[in-house]
Amino acid sequence: MGDYLSLDIGFSQIKLVVGNVLGSKINVKKALVFDTPENTIEDGRILDVEALAEAVKTKLLARRIKTKDAIITINSTAIISREVVMPKAKENEIKSIIDMESEQYFPVNLDSYKVDFKVIEEITVDKSTQYKILVVAIPASIIERYIELIEACGLTPIKLDFLGNSFSKIISNELFRDAKSKGVSFGFKDKSLKGISSKNMTKKDKLIEDQSNSNKSEENSTMSEARINRSVVLLDIGAKTTSVTIVSNGVLQFSRIIMYGGVQMTNAIADRLQLSFDEAEGVKKALERLVTTGEEELEDERSLDISTAIKSVALILIDDVLKYLEFYKSRATGNHIDQIYIAGGTSHINGLEIYLRDSLGVPVMKWDSMKSVRVAGAKSKEEIDLKYYVGCIGALLGRRMV
């Protein structure tokens, strides 16, 4: 079983996981998070390959990581995704149709973009079988810089994935494992095709990677016919952005980026308390618990000020999330949200999940455990905070790594 090195490079932190996948079980052998060098990345665009490569190589050497096959997850507002519906067809026919009609899907000149696709669902429209397809366009310049980075680290680029797709794969995998543990069927509607086969791709072509079909035979042979229809949202709250991913019954339904995160919260604290950014960041991390509505009289003035600053940014985030949830629910009768999970570095704020729950009207919890993940070493699972690594772990999925 070959191991893969999965990288997720954010504005403030780099997440790295070494592991492999067997069926629906993910084996994490090593996981580490470290600071991103300043002025090396902005909105998913690499600004300084040399500095980033040096930071990654230093950590690989220190942790004695020798795995060379690398997977990288990209997150940027420059990535454009569209959902389209077209008649069921063969893979090469779908690709031809998308190539011819791509200008209808994207409001940009696609000469400088790499376009890829993934069949996410088979549906029936007016008694005709149709495919619901996710089409993604990523600037070629972004891809080229990531390939350059991987090679500068002495690694071999195996595939690129965009963060929304990585999130959707790990959510689907977790829902499948949860359904299996309850003895009921979790129906993957995904009739996934790969836009470009991983066996004959050039380095610049490795974009969307599908959820492995390896779960399906196991599921169909061991489960009852009962189904779990679960719709969940993942809010990955990072330093400067928050990724919103909606997955329903194993199918990616929606993926967007909101330009608010932990940095804006820290700035709000700094402004309110007249602190430097570093001082405000320390205050944010040291906050015992976010003061929620109805608890104001029970807390000291400083805690109230810090909480008020954080919530002033969270309110903007909540407004955008509510718009996305309403948009999703309006797309089809029966669309609903069962659960919201929060992950990412900013999700560590105690009480944030309660504030989001009360504001959004949906159960919210931190995603700090994964049933489908096994961490090497008896005590390691407690030592690794999995909510930092959701994107990295999700990117490992996509094929049998055996």
What would the DSSP string read from start to end of 313-347?
A: HHHHHHHHHHHHHHHHHHHSTT----EEEEESGGG
- Rounded to two decimals, the pTM is 0.85
Coil, strand or helix at 255: strand
Q: How far is CA 353 from the centre of its chain?
A: 18
How many Å apart are CA 207 and CA 250, to the nearest integer? Answer: 20
Phi, psi of 2 (to 5 degrees): -85, 145
Locate 397 and state its tokens: 């999925």
Q: Does the CA dihedral 340-341-347-349 come out positive or negative? A: positive
DSSP type of residue 283? H
Residue type, 392: C
- Residue 292 is predicted with a pLDDT of 77
Q: For residue 278, count CB atoms less than 10 angstroms from its CB and return exposed for 0-12, middle for 13-18, buried for 19 or more.
A: exposed
Q: Locate tokens 């507002």: which residue?
A: 77
Helix (H) / strand (E) element for 48: namely none
Q: How far is CA 298 from each of CA 94, 289, 309, 358, rounded to the nearest angstrom?
A: 60, 12, 18, 19
Phi, psi of 283 (to 5 degrees): -65, -40
Q: Are 251 and 121 in contact (CB under 8 A)?
A: yes
How many Å apart are CA 45 and CA 280, to the nearest integer? Answer: 27
- Residue 207 is predicted with a pLDDT of 56
Residue 303, number of CB atoms within 10 A of its CB? 17
- Residue 283 is predicted with a pLDDT of 94
Domains in the chain and their CATH numbers? 4-262+317-396 (3.30.420.380)
- Residue 296 is predicted with a pLDDT of 59
- Residue 120 is predicted with a pLDDT of 83
Could you read off the pLDDT tens digit of each residue along the chain, which spans 402 residues? 689 999 999 999 999 999 999 888 999 999 999 999 999 999 999 999 999 999 999 999 999 999 999 999 999 999 998 889 999 999 889 989 988 888 888 888 888 999 888 888 888 888 889 998 989 999 999 999 999 999 999 999 999 998 999 999 999 888 887 777 766 655 544 433 333 333 334 544 545 555 444 344 333 333 333 345 789 999 999 999 999 999 988 888 889 999 999 999 999 999 999 999 999 999 999 998 898 766 656 568 888 999 999 999 999 999 999 999 999 999 888 899 999 999 999 999 999 999 999 999 999 999 888 888 988 864 555 567 888 999 999 999 974 222
How many Å apart are CA 114 and CA 83, to the nearest integer? Answer: 16
Among the residues of 63-159, which ranges form H helices? 91-105, 140-152
Choose among 219, 170, 213, 176: nearest CA to 193: 213
- Residue 60 is predicted with a pLDDT of 97
- Residue 295 is predicted with a pLDDT of 67
